[in-house]
Structure 1
């Protein structure tokens, strides 16, 4: 049993014990995978998005033709490729006892490899003083 399997079991147990409350989980980049696909609806899970992860557009509507409908849309690429087309807006954040201006972009996508057809919210953060496309990518 992997660490992600154990974490998913623990989250399900906490959600069952506290069924009337929302459970918000924040984890590092190690914790992502298939075990987290079927968490209860009362749970949210936030983790760092690995740089090599591939994001997809949401599944297109059914065409009415025979066969299984598509589960995912077009391949959008890695977080860096997504940051190239994202629209960043300034935000004031307090971190390490300092208030800074950062730039945030938020998009809803599919991370098919880890969360299959469950939609995820991708948050890209870029510091004011950086030249990179993004400094941090989170998925919730």
Structure 2
């Protein structure tokens, strides 16, 4: 595949790791409060990412970043934290095979938000796929 499609391999790996996240988290939160579990998970992520950035030589002075970059990375971090707290609580209460698909409704919301705020314009074919994902989430989440 061409270099332009390398994002796809990273996205597939992201999906694999996200699936493992749900399974490992569901097992790991059995005997612990979901908020504490989220904190422990976040600590592991911080250590792993810090080691990765240093090891790959990608460390640079974060104080050199623009205020806009700080603002939006900060907002992204707050949204991530809120998402993780909600996700772990849902996993604590529900089945991983139902919680994870509903969480992936974020795919539909990303498309809508990207359309509204970033000016992205998915094709009719892409909107059809997004609608199918939304329908799939509803089917998987329903009690019947």
Greater strand fraction, Structure 1 or Structure 2: 1
Normalising by structure 2, report the TM-score. Answer: 0.23
TM-score normalised over the length of structure 1? 0.23
The structure whose RCO (Cα within 8 Å, separation 6+) is larger is 2
Larger helix percent: 2
